[in-house]
Chain A
Amino acid sequence: MKNNKVWEILRPYVMIGPAMIGIFLFVIYPMIYLLYLSFFKYNLLNSAMSKYIGFSNYIQIFSREDFYKSLLNTVIYTGGVVTLTMLISLLIAVWLSKRTRMNYIVQAGIFTPHIISIVSVSLVWLWMMEPNLGFLNYVLESLGLPPSQWLQSSKTALFSIIIVSVWHGIGYYVLILVAALQGISPNIYEAAALDNTSKFRVFHRITLPLISPQMFFILIIMTIGSFKVFDTVRIMTGGGPNNATNTLVYYIYGFRTTNIGYAAATGVVLMAIIGILTIIYFWLLSRKVHYQ
């Protein structure tokens, strides 16, 4: 009897135990360790020589110009990628939302970049963006337009990376939006037609509100993802030229051997920024998102 009662109480904890161990080992422990490291001047060769320095790392972050530069780059990159992807994928999704064979083919084509490794994508675009022999300048010239320096000028490098990221990700978001658009009952559009609704008003007052949950999801997922951009920068520019494409994660990567404590502190700051941004989104937009 008594044993039974103990088991009754323990059972739920035993059941979630395996999952909790996983979460603790792979999520909570690394996060706490990151936070812990950020308070040290860490010595890689001899960890016993590591020194607790309090908030010095954080003070250093907020007083260094290169941090602000990479933060600014990241914000511009995120803004560019999120805006362009949302706009373009919405346009394409509206275009593809009719269920025809042609649309299925086009949709598969647009989705394909998403299944290619970002490393391959970056390399291919790296060649295409080569200023002298690259395909993109060849196209520009044959159209009679002035060629661009693409990745080799600090003016255009960040935008070039934005293009690659948008191209790579768009198929996935088109897929989500097409599904959302096809989920809207045709009766609603018929009712709107009988209500003498103009095309613009149908889109603005009916279509957009009905896909707002998916748009909101994309906004948040993409903001978080874009803030952590790394692979394209690593492969295509290495943060250059002249730090023009140095983003936060790449910035952290730069200190991976020289100053672990500082890198950890920057990581914590990045986490905080993403967290705050997400909260702001919810706070600003949750009233405009219609869940059914």
Chain B
Amino acid sequence: MRIPRTAALASAAAVAVGVLTGCSAGGGESILDRETLTIGVKADQPGLGLRRSDGEFVGFDVDVARYVAGKLGFSDQEIRFTETPSNVREQVLEQRRVDMVVASYSITASRKTKVTFAGPYYVAHQDTLVRAGDSAVRNVRDLANRRLCKVTGSNSWRRVTEERGVPARLVETTTYSDCVDRLIRGEVDAVSTDDLILAGFAAQRGNAVKIINAPISDEKYGIGLHKGDLDGCEAINRALTEMYQDGTAARLLDKWFGRTTLRTTDSVPQFEGCS
């Protein structure tokens, strides 16, 4: 790329034009111009974003956010994590209460009308969790006539029973954590949702459960930004590319999900493109 020609520029004009264009770019628009960074994460998702009893947030999402923030030039002291529940993610970005959201936030075309998405930093898949000793369930079709956990307010079960028409028997409960406990106790036979979420629970429960690695969807986990922050979005995409190139992504995936039977992908995902 060539830089704007300066040869013809009167020295007096140079100074003043610099000031002029600087103004028109509009300060504070991009997260790159921020002094500190407020990052929205989940607080109740083991392996992804979990608030520990000492108030610190831990998980894959948190580590990814920290890496990206570091690449954008923010020190650990300059970033602050805050809980961002799923139903307010668009709202907090719009009102600039949070600078970026890294909270197992799937990129969809309708969300893209309100949020600028960097990434995805990982493509999760809907998959199935069964008891470690269960070798009868190898793909989603095998869930026919088995007890499948249905979490109130979640749509994951629909992919099995409605979209694929697999006649599983639904057992309703309130949280995925409860689903996994029931699975271990033998009260349900399978839990179906994003594999990273399943792996997060599985890692907590040792070897009692396993993921069958038969994905039935792509969930593009993106980093949400205030709509229109293209500079920030492109900078984050570069950081994510480097995260995969320098081996950090593989290390983090292993750190959080390596103990489970989940097969993770350690090459860079296809980005959505900043818009």
Q: Do A and B bind each other?
A: no
